[in-house]
Structure 1
Amino acid sequence: MDAKSPTLSLPAQPREFGFHVGGRWIATGSRETMVRLSPGHDVPVTRITLCTRKDLDNAVAVARKTFDSRVWSGISGAERATVLLKAAAGIRARAEELAYWETLETGKPISQSRAEIEGAAGIYEYGAGAARCLHGDSFNNLGDKLFGIVTREPVGVVGLITPWNFPFFILAERIPFMLAAGCTIVAKPSEMTSATTLIMAEILTDAGLPEGVFNVVSGTGPEIGQAMTEHMGIDQVSFTGSTAVGRHALLASAGNFKKVGLELGGKSPQVVFADANLDDAADGVVFGICHNAGQCCVSGSRLIVEKSVAAEFEKLLVDKFARVRIGDPLDPRTQLGAIVSAAHNEKILGYIRKGSEEGARLACGGESVASKAGRFIHPTLLADVTNHMVVAREEIFGPVLAMITFETREEAIELANDNAYGLAASVWTSDLDKALGTIRRIQAGRTWINTTITGGPEMPIGGFKQSGIGRDTGMYGVEEYMEVKSIHIALGARDHWVS
């Protein structure tokens, strides 16, 4: 693999992985395996171990023993920060390797993978700072005979279930905050994209993370993921994925009333007013739906545009869509990569057909890209959409944009909020009062004005309504994995109750 070549070469044979528990690799042995084909090339790239429930039980037991030993939960924030900073350096040292395997398993462009790996390293550095900033509160207002302290302490063993679309970046939006809090972790990546999570386990071990703090058990969602949400030895589950599966996770957590953090689906609106810089807005909307081929939970898939500029804006979009570079994910010039699986590819095309059947007008795209290997879909714009259509209400998770028009700001807000999801939203306008007035009324957890899908670990992420529960990243993200304890301290002699 030559990082300087225009297009990287494919592996001669699939890379084989065991799994990682207790700070060491465990061989596949007699367990079943799954070979992952690159979505952009249809060649075998990785062979992943399908762990058993017994493997999960063992990993949870290791994580519990490690947590109770206080080898991580009992040390200072400064010591945790040192490990997290070394982990960030380890990511950067192996950045090209991580980006390569990320692209091979996900089908996303190598340029996007490289940017995500670099961004992930920065999140670990933020987590290091967060570990040193944790604090509680004191209450000096309880009178002379009582003093109060509120402390935050790690929740315990966290089960982390991550999806296939951003396997390394979403991992980075969770792990540093769990570790900063002092928790131990059992992670289950998607069986389609496990490589970079397993490599991260090695990086953390090399960074000095004590054995048993971070453990990876690879396998399928129905087998290992479901068992994790039900597991009595896990104190909290963090799940990122579809709303349907998130609902199952929430129900399964009732067994031991474990805490649950869910980042789920979205049908995020992009509201474009007539006074916006339309060229900038069109570029942002195109980026928002083409980023990761639209396989992104915060993808701006519902375009809500002011009617007076709708025709002009449509022309801008069609022109920009035509110039998006689609191709080999390993080519750094590629902007839009492959669809993750054949089943998902057909699902996206099915939604496009459904839109046409419902009366939407196909302004551009709507079909697969002709290619010798892999699965690619042309960026698609469905115009003349109404908010009751399936393509406006359900998460398509592909490069398909549904365009709806409005005439008043109140109508735009009503359209934006008329959906079961509330994960993200963007507003485009040159009027700051209008921008803030609109965004404050839109029901979404992560929002942008005159931009989209950007930001850093300082700000929290998460959704309203059926887009999830809880918040990750920022100091909110550390507190998500902590319990709050009130400590009451008596001062002076006790006034005896029994005389």
Structure 2
Amino acid sequence: MNQHIEALSPPAKPRKFGFFVDGQSVEAGSREVFERNSPGHGVPVTRIPKCTPEDLDDAVAAARRAFDDRRWSGLNGQARAAVLLRAGALIRERSEEIAYWETLENGKPISQARAEVGGCADMFEYASGLARSLHGDSFNNLGDGMFGLVTREPIGVVGIITPWNFPFLILCERVPYVLASGCTIVAKPSEVTSATTLILAEILSQAGLPDGVMNVVTGSGSTIGQGLIEHPLVDMLSFTGSTSVGRKVVEAAGRTNFKKLGLELGGKNPQIVFADADLEDAADGVAFGIGFNTGQCCVSGSRLIVERSVADDLARMIEEKFTKVVIGDPLNNATQIGAITTDAQNSTILSYIEKGRAEGARLICGGEQIGLGGGRSISPALFGDVTRDMAIAREEIFGPVLTIMPFDAVEEAIAIANDTEYGLAASVWTKNIDKALLVTRRVQAGRFWVNTTLAGGPELPLGGFKQSGWGREAGMYGVEEYTQVKSVHIEIGKRSPWIA
């Protein structure tokens, strides 16, 4: 049943959650509990168990049993699709509840959270069709004595480690596709944003997902997350987070069972604006691209690369946009920029703003700490006079900090865009289709937008080039990511003897 939130204010007391194993919610009991304060209000909103290594073992064992006895992978595509469709409908029914707890724990604006939850329901509905259309291949060209098949089989138990910036969205960019492939899951959300992951586990159980197929363990990354990465009974791990932690994931996975990895890591994403672009659209898109989710977004467009002849004009337009953006209480529907999710991230963003000044960049506007009556935010910062060697131009800040660098020729714009270890996303703004296609082909990024940014849906895959990750999520590519390919050779007729 949907829990409609009438008054958009923090709860009178924190909501208690258990973790979820083998179809059941398990109360904290004697375990330690993490109490989460809302970053937008400074009051406690949730209490989440700190799972033990034994709890993790129980969750993995449940997922292992559920996979090995084929209670899920053995179903036909129609049966799996029906569960995913019901889950999508239940997400829509409980959308206000999910958005509310997402906003309370994360600090993002409630309007954004609502839109994300609707997109998550889309993911489940789209993946339901993929569960029915997943297929292999056949080879009828091996001669009269042989027929070849290629099958796709679910890889097994999948661990999913999600970050705090998009707790529900990133989860739902993976879970329905993992389930469509026939795999089972052990999910580990960030300890500061665990509520909506636990709500999804309830929804999937209600939708008819067999016990043990979806399990959620809560706790710190250093214990539960590390244990999941290294667990020998986990066949694949999907990790979303920073590139530096991604390297440690690769090392840890290699020490155990060489599990397959899906990695969506950091980004320092360019937005290239040509003089022939619609500058009003570009200014609004660039402001949105850095302000969305308070800049705490791995695909945010943090590097503005603009043709020199319009650079000053575009900077003025973006400055005007920044002064009009609504910063405030995340539970207010009019708010466009909410709270910074953690104290540590707040300090990191402010330190980069100071570093930019120290390196000689010119702070055009923004960058101030703003109190939210118990929470905190940072006004979007715009830096000019930026060079490619500056930290604010090279390192992922994960906050609302935008740098401007001019260019004179197309090749120079492409070179600046590619001058990074990352390759997650990019945008280009131009009304010239030739330039748009040239830049799209030449800039190294896994996701690309032309005359827009941060757009998308469940059909197209997500993932990065270079040090922004491995593999792809969403779309049919996302289902195939959680399968392994088997070649089958079928001999026809009597065998030609090896021994006469």
Q: What is the TM-score when the length of structure 1 is the normalising length? A: 0.99
Q: Secondary structure at the match of 2:377?
A: coil
Unaligned stretches of 5+ residues in structure 1? none
Which residue in 2 is equivalent to 1:148? 148
1:2 positional shift: 6.5
Q: How many Å separate the matches in 1 of 2:497 and 2:283?
A: 74
Which residue in 2 is equivalent to 1:228? 228
Q: How many Å separate the matches in 2 of 1:274 and 1:3?
A: 46
Q: How many Å separate the matches in 2 of 1:314 and 1:355?
A: 17
1:372 positional shift: 2.7
Q: How many Å separate the matches in 2 of 1:227 and 1:413?
A: 41
Which residue in 2 is equivalent to 1:77? 77
Q: How many Å separate the matches in 1 of 2:372 and 2:33?
A: 29
1:38 positional shift: 0.4
Which residue in 1 is equivalent to 2:443? 442
Which residue type is aligned with residue 345 of structure 1? Answer: N
Q: How many Å separate the matches in 2 of 1:39 and 1:4?
A: 21
Which residue in 2 is equivalent to 1:87? 87
Q: How many Å separate the matches in 2 of 1:236 and 1:60?
A: 12
Render the CA deviation track for 1:148-172: whole Å, top value 9, x for unaligned.
0000000000000000000001111
Q: How many Å separate the matches in 1 of 2:344 and 2:89?
A: 38
Matches within 5 A, 1:21-40: 21-40=21-40
Render the CA deviation track for 1:387-414: whole Å, top value 9, x for unaligned.
1100000000001101111111000000
Unaligned stretches of 5+ residues in structure 2? none
- Percent identical among aligned pairs is 64
Which residue in 1 is equivalent to 2:181? 181
Q: How many Å separate the matches in 2 of 1:371 and 1:434?
A: 43
Aligned residue pairs total 497
1:3 positional shift: 4.4
Render the CA deviation track for 1:59-87: whole Å, top value 9, x for unaligned.
11110011011110111011000000000
* 1:409 to 2:410 alignment: yes
CA spacing shift, 1:106–1:140, aligned 2, 3 Å: same
Q: How many Å separate the matches in 1 of 2:466 and 2:210?
A: 38
1:465 positional shift: 0.5
Which residue in 1 is equivalent to 2:419? 418
Which residue type is aligned with residue 378 of structure 1? Answer: S
Which residue type is aligned with residue 464 of structure 2? Answer: G
1:438 positional shift: 0.7
Which residue in 1 is equivalent to 2:399? 398
Q: Secondary structure at the match of 2:261?
A: strand
Which residue in 2 is equivalent to 1:103? 103
Which residue in 1 is equivalent to 2:58? 58
Which residue type is aligned with residue 86 of structure 2? Answer: K
1:45 positional shift: 0.3
* 1:280 to 2:281 alignment: yes
Which residue type is aligned with residue 281 of structure 1? Answer: A
Q: How many Å separate the matches in 2 of 1:270 and 1:256?
A: 40
Q: How many Å separate the matches in 2 of 1:471 and 1:405?
A: 32
Q: How many Å separate the matches in 2 of 1:140 and 1:236?
A: 32
Which residue type is aligned with residue 283 of structure 1? Answer: D
Q: How many Å separate the matches in 1 of 2:385 and 2:407?
A: 11
1:4 positional shift: 5.7
Which residue type is aligned with residue 426 of structure 2? Answer: A
1:27 positional shift: 1.1
Q: Secondary structure at the match of 2:479?
A: helix
Q: How many Å separate the matches in 1 of 2:66 and 2:350?
A: 47
1:326 positional shift: 0.3
Q: Secondary structure at the match of 2:460?
A: coil
Q: How many Å separate the matches in 2 of 1:257 and 1:142?
A: 33
Q: Secondary structure at the match of 1:387?
A: coil
Which residue in 1 is equivalent to 2:319? 318
Which residue in 2 is equivalent to 1:10? 10
Render the CA deviation track for 1:258-300: whole Å, top value 9, x for unaligned.
0000000000000001110001000000000000000000000
Contact 2:40 2:372 in 1 (8 A): no
Which residue type is aligned with residue 190 of structure 1? Answer: S
Q: How many Å separate the matches in 1 of 2:253 and 2:227?
A: 10
Q: How many Å separate the matches in 1 of 2:372 and 2:183?
A: 46
1:15 positional shift: 0.4
1:371 positional shift: 3.7
* 1:268 to 2:238 alignment: no
1:10 positional shift: 1.2
Which residue in 2 is equivalent to 1:432? 433
Which residue type is aligned with residue 447 of structure 2? Answer: R
Contact 2:4 2:96 in 1 (8 A): no
Compute the RMSD of aligned alpha carbons. Answer: 0.9
Which residue type is aligned with residue 305 of structure 1? Answer: V
Contact 2:329 2:372 in 1 (8 A): no
Q: What is the TM-score when the length of structure 2 is the normalising length? A: 0.99
1:439 positional shift: 1.2
Matches within 5 A, 1:198-277: 198-254=198-254, 255-277=256-278
Which residue in 1 is equivalent to 2:361? 360
CA spacing shift, 1:221–1:336, aligned 2, 3 Å: same
Which residue in 2 is equivalent to 1:379? 380
1:496 positional shift: 0.4
Q: How many Å separate the matches in 1 of 2:73 and 2:311?
A: 56
